[in-house]
A and B are shown apart, each in its own frame.
Chain A
């Protein structure tokens, strides 16, 4: 596992590069640890408060530890009418957690997202950014199994 300092160093010198650095940190750690935010502040010459403010602004970033595989279900209007609520119930059942929580083994986090731009195939979930289309509650166990 790469050290967070090494990850951030790759973006040193890139104007406005803190967001790209945060994305790289997410790929490794699944969230933004406090030490990493402080390091990013140092490298990009921001206050820790500013760096923290950037981390907490964007919905894809998390400053709290969460499950490694981030499962998101779209709750925007087109997915909402297509039956997202039933898929939510299936996800909560399959993972044994509620929306917004992570599994005890640290493998999965369950979150809402707003529209991910796959509205031709609602309802939609994403896992680590990869879209799954036309998702029915029945498909959830098999989809989750891919990541177990």
Chain B
């Protein structure tokens, strides 16, 4: 039986998030002090050795990313926390910020020291306006106590654009522009915010940093799956008894998440599928439930760990209808910059609606498959590249459901 292990949520329910003294009493800000006494190269090597991989969905080695920014020569560098959390089904970053904002601030401050940045931003999605004062209170308290020297953090609000979760679109938004992704390279660690070296990391990624500095890389690297160690917060939604969150080591299986932690399906209905990682995740059928949730094992089955959102649907659900709604989401959220996404998401939504309304055929499915495949390699950013996945995976695993709706 898998067990919960709370690293990023270690203080959940134990402290008042508006009282820095509570955080300090739990050992808070000792890691920042320890980090600041280290040589920055050693600090970055430690984070790299822990093998902490980004928790926003891209899974890039955190320490390696920091080393690129540290090595860049510039008169100004930035640390940005991606708190855009737009992935449907995901609420883990909200949980961290609502309950323990200081773990985020401490993680950012450690990063700032490591790379030589003096300015940070928290890009907070516009749908969490109630967290602006929580974050500002925490930032001010840390400043007042003199704990966060030489590093200022400003909160900037998003305004309802899923694409701003993409790091370069987010940077464009902080620059006061339309949130359209940039061509990469250059990557943010060499040229990011206002063309300066910038680290963009997810809330959950930063929340791990104080504990890694405290307990060491070897300790962290030994937890869960070695290729993607540590823990991951899963947020459950849909047809599941326990519509709540869990933080588990990364070697848990999908079955454990859904049936053990999730408590299975309400009303004794049968499981149909689970979509993990967010609304661009693959729909995973029953046969693949014993897959471990780590990044690479999920890739191996054509799925993604992504944000850790876990959206379960039961046998009574019309999966073509769900995939159609998701196609509508992507059409809506496409920023419009690149043709394959702008046109591709619109055509996907149109074809899905046609099939969903009973006017479709095998020819439409064939077009959707071809379109989705082309989008996955031609779209400028992850939004367009991943948007076809829900349609492609439901066609693959639930073809009969599509056929049942054909003219």
Contacts and interface: CB of A to CB of B under 8 A. Distances in A.
Interface of A: 15-20, 22-23, 44, 53-54, 57-61, 75-78, 80-82, 113-122, 126, 129-130
Given A77-B279, A77-B322, A58 B161 contact: yes
A19 B175 CA distance: 9
B89 A78 contact: yes
B12 to A, nearest CB: 14
B102 to A, nearest CB: 21
A118 B91 contact: yes
Contact of A113 (B127, B275, B328): B127
Contact of A119 (B159, B177, B235, B317): B235
Contact of A81 (B158, B175, B313, B333): B313
Contacts of A129: 126-127, 129-130
Contact of A77 (B86, B126, B326): B326
15 contacts: A53-B178, A58-B161, A58-B179, A76-B279, A76-B329, A77-B279, A77-B311, A81-B239, A114-B329, A115-B87, A115-B89, A118-B91, A119-B243, A119-B311, A129-B126
B178 A78 contact: no
B181 to A, nearest CB: 13
Nearest to B333: A114
Nearest to A129: B129
Nearest to B175: A16
B86 A19 contact: no
A64 to B, nearest CB: 16
Nearest to A46: B176
A110 to B, nearest CB: 16
B238 interface: yes
Contacts of B311: 77-78, 119
Contacts of B178: 53-54, 57
A111 B245 CA distance: 28
A148 B296 CA distance: 52
A35 B128 CA distance: 28
Interface in B317-349: 317, 322, 325-326, 328-329, 332-333, 335
A78 B161 contact: no
